Amino acid sequence: MCADQAPQPDTSRRRAIELFLGGGILASLASFIYPVLRFLVPPAVVDLGGDEVVASKLGEMKPNSGKIFRFGSRPGLLILNSDGTYRALSATCTHLGCTVQYRPDLREIWCACHNGTYDLNGRNVSGPPPRPLTVFDVHQRGDEIVVSRKREA
């Protein structure tokens, strides 16, 4: 047996032990961290709102006024025009997500956060909003004003 070969088996044993120990510790850490990461992700909220909601009752709103209603987990805006027609849109501003309001004085939809305005068709006319508001369908069923998502053509 050569003198300079003697340390060879020693170091390989050491390496094997290091590998097992390090691998074991890494595997344990992974098994601790994985559940924690999954725990941190909030479970998806079930949207029970569906595609249709009763937004108002007939005669509840004054002409030339707006009302925020709940559409699923988000707010919607129902407007009763002076001519007695209804209009419903998403009330979430496309800029940074504030809730918009109807301005009877301007006959426009206005976002108070950054002074964005939309016309009654939801088109972004001035200020920072980058996209128009989503427009919903409005029906009358008995004395209920029903808002539903527009069916894709």
Partner 1 sequence: MFAPLIRWLDERIHLDDLIAPFKHKTVPRHRLSYWYFFGGITLFLFIIQVLTGILLLLYYRPGANEAFESVQYIMTRVQFGWLIRSIHAWSANLMIFTAFVHMFSVLFLKAYRKPRELTWVTGVILLVLVMGFGFSGYLLPWNTLAFFATKVGTEIAGQVPIIGKPMMIFLRGGEEVTGATLTRFFGFHVAVLPGLVVVLIAIHLFLVQRQGMSVPPKVEAEWAANPAARREMKFFPNFMLREMMAWYVAMGVLGALAAIFPWNLGVKADPFVSAPAGIKPEWYFLFMFQTLKMIPSKVWIVDGEVLGVLGCSLAGLLWLLLPFFESDKASRAKVWITGLSIFALVYVIGMSVYGYVAN
- Judged by beta carbon, residue 43 or residue 84, the one nearer partner 1 is 43
Q: Check residue 30 for interaction with partner 1 (CB under 8 A).
A: no
Quote the least distance from Cβ 31 to partner 1, whole Å: 9
DSSP SS3 for 75: strand
Q: Which of 97, 72, 94 is nearest to 147 (CA)?
A: 72
Greatest alpha-carbon span in the chain: 106
Using CB under 8 A, count the residues that bind partner 1. 9
- Judged by beta carbon, residue 20 or residue 58, the one nearer partner 1 is 20
Among 3, 30, 39, 153, binds partner 1 (CB under 8 A): 39
Q: How far apart are CA 18 and CA 6, in angstroms?
A: 20
Q: Check residue 151 for interaction with partner 1 (CB under 8 A).
A: no
Q: How far apart are CA 123 and CA 130, in angstroms?
A: 10
Quote the least distance from Cβ 144 to partner 1, whole Å: 31
